[in-house]
Amino acid sequence: MRTGWRVISELGLGVMRARGADAITFLQGQLSNDTTRITAALQLSGYHTPQGRAIALLRLTRLPPEDLLAIMPLELVPVVIARLKRFVLRAKVQLTDESPHWDIRGYPDAPPALPAGALSLPYGSTRRLVLVPQSSGAPAEVTDGTRADWVACDIAEGLPQVYLATSEAFIAQMLNLDVTGGIALDKGCYTGQEIIARAHYRGQVKRRMQRFVSETPCSLTPGQTGRFTDGRSFKVVDAVAVEQGRCEFLAVTNPPGFSGAAAPTEEAESTSTAETQILLAVRELALPYELPAARP
């Protein structure tokens, strides 16, 4: 994990706002986590297709009374709003892109004094995500970290992200949402719930997000596919350059030594020979959490 930086202001994140009397109940029927439990902290949740594939990962916080902010990659904000609006119907909820109204900053720990109206939200193990209203007139802080520093921390902590390049590429459990707190199995129906619940209770998830570092210089980007030298195919979730031109990254693949067919929900994600772009020698790195074992 990269350390030594104090603040990052270019995180590539945007904000969707959902407000109205039905905001919480509307999102409850769309997202994988329980929106009734959202507090002033950040709640990780997935927005999925009916086939259980992640369109985007949202990190939500609540502004009382019926007002929610959802933080996600800036490029996905208009995509998510457009898709959600198809299902609003008579629900009393307004979905808007509030990205221009917030200055989003990342801190390695507790931030300094903040202007009125700013939100300081816990993120990961020690970091804070801070949203400062543009209307506050607060001056921009001098940034001494980069987005790559932030991504490096996400990778070290095994925190998933979905970008435009990987939207609809993975089912929820492939991204370890069941381990990182992004799924509420005790809530009611939501889009994709049948596939996600079936994968959980039948234990059929054969491909999981895992952490690696390349043994040789390379450049990897989210969505890139390839094959490890042990024969396993992979798809990159997130990646960052490290020393000597190598790359540290999160990728969805089978566990070491795996042999067997993928579950039906995973077949579309598996990398075919035609799609394989690179052959990569890697060293597996530990995640800060344990992955559930797939049942035969």
pLDDT score, position 28:
96
| CA–CA dist 246, 255 (Å, integer) | 22
pLDDT score, position 274:
46
| CA–CA dist 127, 117 (Å, integer) | 20
Q: Which residues pair with 53 in a beta bridge?
A: 171
Q: Structure pTM?
A: 0.92
Per-residue pLDDT of the chain in tens (296 residues, 90 and over written 9) = 677 899 999 999 999 999 999 999 999 999 999 999 998 789 999 999 999 999 999 999 999 888 999 999 999 999 999 999 999 989 999 999 999 999 999 999 989 888 888 999 999 999 999 999 988 877 777 789 999 999 999 999 999 999 999 999 999 999 999 999 999 999 989 999 999 999 998 877 899 999 999 999 999 999 999 999 999 999 999 999 999 999 999 999 999 876 555 554 554 454 444 455 799 999 999 999 999 876 66
pLDDT score, position 259:
57
> Which CATH fold would you assign to the domain 13-157?
Alpha-Beta Plaits (3.30.70)
Sheet holding 54-63, edge to edge: 43-48, 54-63, 67-73, 13-19, 94-97
pLDDT score, position 260:
53
Q: Does domain 165-285 have CATH number 2.40.30.160?
A: yes
| CA–CA dist 131, 135 (Å, integer) | 12
Break the chain into its structural domains and give their ranges.
Answer: 13-157, 165-285
Q: Which residues contact 112 (CB under 8 A, 6 or more apart)?
A: none
pLDDT score, position 296:
60
